[in-house]
Amino acid sequence: MSAVAPALHSIRLTEFSHGGGCGCKIAPAVLSEILAGSPIRGLPPELLVGTETSDDAAVYRLNDSQALVATTDFFTPIVDDPFDFGRIAATNALSDIYAMGGRPILALAIVGMPLDKLPLAAIRRILEGGEAVCAAAGIPIAGGHSIDTLEPIYGLVGLGLVHPERVKRNDTARAGDVLVLGKPLGVGILSAVLKKGQLSASGYAQMIAATTALNTPGEALAALPGVHALTDVTGFGLAGHLLEVARGSRLAAEVAFDALPLIAEARDWAERGVATGASERNWKSYGADVVLPAGMAEWKKKLLTDPQTSGGLLVACAPEAEGQVLEEFARRGFREARRFGRLAAGPARVTVV
């Protein structure tokens, strides 16, 4: 007798994964150690962005007016609903293209599913979620690859185009730049609460709203002369991704914590001591290059290190461009975008005040 497949409504995807979303990324210090021995040989001059800066995507010049942006991103479930999981994973993958200043043109699906545990209807809903996001971005999923795995895995290979002169890297910030964040922090904390079965309907709605908002302002921001550097905040937390900008640009970053946009319910849970395991791994990976003020509340540290899945764009721009940047975010629905810090000459570190 064959086993009866579980009903779709009874499936809890997060039960199949040891860590969800970008929280299952390898910690920054460990990743650096792994990649340290990888030689870089024979790079063609057309490769404008490769692995040298820990940037969001590779960029390859095709001609004087077009460069190809190529990225891949996939992870295990951060939510239980299959359709929402597909939407979040696809939004997160396409974010890398927007973070380079590009416009997506097509995607390929990456699918790994435990076929003996998940009903086919659930797998179909995951794929439909990804397709819905790509349709919203105006691109097709033109192919992909699938395997049978122990944990559900879904994501995309994303391809996009950008003008070579509008490519935005994470290592080209300038002293005097201000820092703007496009989405509120706290997705990792909400995912931890969800896995405990304690997240409210309102908290879940806030989480889905944040993680399924395509970072479409990236293309327009790249066209602004005052925008000098761009990246997105994902698994390494705000402190980790800002540290990449500081190190790459050889600048000191200052963060005004009270100016940061936060998901309200995530802040509440952080104050109650909730955090992900990846948060502490992130903190240990920063070393002495993230400096916190004496006596700072622990919950604030949890939000600075919280791994974001499909997080917001992090912009370094000239002070006179701040208004244009915030206007561009607001025009596309990102009304919680905030200026939260600045960059200055000094040691490459992040200091929180």
How confident is the model at residue 2, as a pLDDT?
33
Together in a domain, 190 and 251: yes
Among 143, 165, 187, residue at a domain's last position? 165
Distance of CA 251 to the CA centre of its chain: 22
Among 165, 184, 204, residue at a domain's last position? 165
Residue 134 among the catalytic residues: no
pLDDT greater than 90 at residue 56: no
How confident is the model at residue 1, as a pLDDT?
31
- Active-site residue among 22, 24, 134, 317? 22
Among residues of the chain, what percentage have pLDDT more than 70? 89
CATH number of the domain that 105 lies in?
3.30.1330.10
CA–CA distance, 7 with 64 (Å, rounded to integer): 54
Q: pLDDT, tens digit, for every residue of 230-247? A: 999 999 999 999 999 999
pLDDT greater than 60 at residue 21: no
303-309 average pLDDT score: 96
If pLDDT is split at 50, 70 and 90, which confidence band does 3 have?
Answer: very low
Residue 8 lies in a domain: no
Residue 73 lies in a domain: yes
Q: What six digits make up the tokens of 256?
A: 């005004």
Together in a domain, 123 and 197: no
Together in a domain, 318 and 267: yes
If pLDDT is split at 50, 70 and 90, which confidence band does 15 have?
Answer: confident
pTM: 0.90
Together in a domain, 147 and 210: no
Residue 271 lies in a domain: yes
Together in a domain, 27 and 83: yes
Q: pLDDT, tens digit, for every residue of 192-240? A: 999 899 999 999 999 999 999 999 999 999 999 999 999 999 999 999 9
How confident is the model at residue 46, as a pLDDT?
95
Number of structural domains found in the chain: 2
Together in a domain, 86 and 159: yes
Q: pLDDT, tens digit, for every residue of 70-92? A: 999 999 999 999 999 999 999 99
Residue 136 lies in a domain: yes
CB atoms within 10 A of CB 18: 11
Residue 335 lies in a domain: yes
Together in a domain, 154 and 176: no
Together in a domain, 223 and 153: no
Higher pLDDT pick, 51 / 153: 153
Query: What mean pLDDT value characterizes the chain?
Result: 91
CATH number of the domain that 218 lies in?
3.90.650.10
Where would I find the beta strands (DSSP E) of the chain? 47-49, 58-61, 67-75, 103-113, 141-148, 153-162, 178-181, 227-232, 252-255, 290-291, 313-317, 338-344, 350-352
Among 107, 133, 165, residue at a domain's last position? 165
Residue 278 lies in a domain: yes
How confident is the model at residue 55, as a pLDDT?
85
Residue 9 lies in a domain: no
How confident is the model at residue 43, as a pLDDT?
79
How confident is the model at residue 77, as a pLDDT?
93
CA–CA distance, 70 with 57 (Å, rounded to integer): 6
If pLDDT is split at 50, 70 and 90, which confidence band does 137 have?
Answer: very high
Together in a domain, 51 and 110: yes
291-296 average pLDDT score: 96
Helix/strand/coil (H, E, C) string of 146-195?
A: EEECCCCEEEEEEEEEECHHHCCCCCCCCCCCEEEECCCECHHHHHHHHH
Together in a domain, 130 and 47: yes
Structural domain boundaries, residue 42: 18-165
Together in a domain, 197 and 85: no
Q: Please give the helix or strand (H or E) that residue 63 lies within, else none.
A: none
128-132 average pLDDT score: 98
333-341 average pLDDT score: 97
9-25 average pLDDT score: 63
Residue 123 lies in a domain: yes
Together in a domain, 161 and 179: no
59-80 average pLDDT score: 96
